[in-house]
Chains A and B, each alone.
Chain A
Amino acid sequence: MISLLRLISGRTASAPVARERLQILLAHERGLRGQPELLELLRAEILAAVSRHVVLDPEKVVVRMERGKQVSTLEVDIEVPNNFERSLAAAS
């Protein structure tokens, strides 16, 4: 009956397209959800771990996450001052 109507009207049903687009989009958005909190947590813990050994400027620790289809990457960028040796001595 449905296909007959479609045959007559010459239109294809759009609902399956809507469904597929939504499923793809929401899978992606749900992945992103909560990410800022996760990054903040990672940043704080990495900062704490490194700070036990090196004196760091907390502002110079950048944590980024990129989500890909197959794999995601976690990028950690820590700027260490040039007087690293002295910082190390001060920290110990």
Chain B
Amino acid sequence: MAKVLVVTSGKGGVGKTTSTAALGAALAQLGEKVVVVDFDVGLRNLDLVMGAERRVVFDLINVVQGVAKLSQALIRDKRLENLWLLPASQTRDKDALTEEGVGSIIADLRAKFDWILCDSPAGIERGATLAMRYADEAVIVTNPEVSSVRDSDRIIGMLDSKTVRAEKGERVAKHILITRYDSARASRGEMLSIEDILEILATPLLGIIPESQDVLRASNVGSPVTLNNAASAPARAYIDAVRRLMGETVTMMVPVERKGLMNRLLGRRAA
């Protein structure tokens, strides 16, 4: 039974695309057949983060408009054979997406994949509402920062009212994924704590991704962080999150950087 999962946040720049790539790759690494779909029409970036930017020929809009077949637009990952990407259009705008068109593509993808991860654009406009429209589950990416928490709350309200599931009286399973978490700053009381965020949003926690240079390093080279350096702290946190998505019980913790003694003495980070 295929699952449609939207990665959303309301606020921009919190790590939706990075998280979509990392979660998608981690699911594929665990043997699931996965497609990551970019809904950010006009500002696509999932292709870049996945390292497939030079392989895009057809996109989501082409499929919606019948210019290309779904099989022509799907790009298979070069590292993981059960990971696929459906890119967004870079030239069109979000109005080119229709609810019926998206619905029919999602239905086709459901027949082909175990997981369909929809990377939502920022905001609460058409692109974001269409990305969440057919979702069974939602990952709400939140930074420990007031504006991000406020926007997450707004998005949670939309997931509970504007999705097909909500309209049928069913629930979209919602999960909070906290990214860019700095445990040192949180312990000094300079950053909203995990408990504060969860209490305010009243939504269960999927994982805590620590602030890390590995995330930027992975996007620099166009590789999901779980593939680029699976032993890194953020990769381990994403893999734990994915295990929880798959129904496993995994103890919640904030993975920390493993530094060698010399690096620690010299205060240097591994390059």
Binding site for B on A (CB under 8 A): 2, 5-6, 13-16, 18-19, 21-23, 25-26, 29-30, 33-34
Contact = CB atoms under 8 A, between A and B. Distances in A.
Contact of B153 (A2, A16, A21, A30): A30
B230 to A, nearest CB: 32
Nearest to B188: A5
A5 B190 CA distance: 12
A25 B193 CA distance: 18
B189 A19 contact: no
Contact of B200 (A2, A5, A13, A26): A26
Contacts of A25: 150
Nearest to B145: A18
A36 B228 CA distance: 47
Contacts of B187: 2
Query: What is the interface of chain B mostly: helix, strand, loop, or mixed?
Result: helix
B97 interface: no
A29 B150 CA distance: 9
Contacts of B81: none
Interface size class of B (residues with CB under 8 A): 10 to 19
B252 interface: no
A33 to B, nearest CB: 5
B192 A29 contact: no
Given A18-B192, A19-B192, A34-B161, 5 more contacts: A2-B187, A14-B190, A18-B196, A26-B153, A29-B150
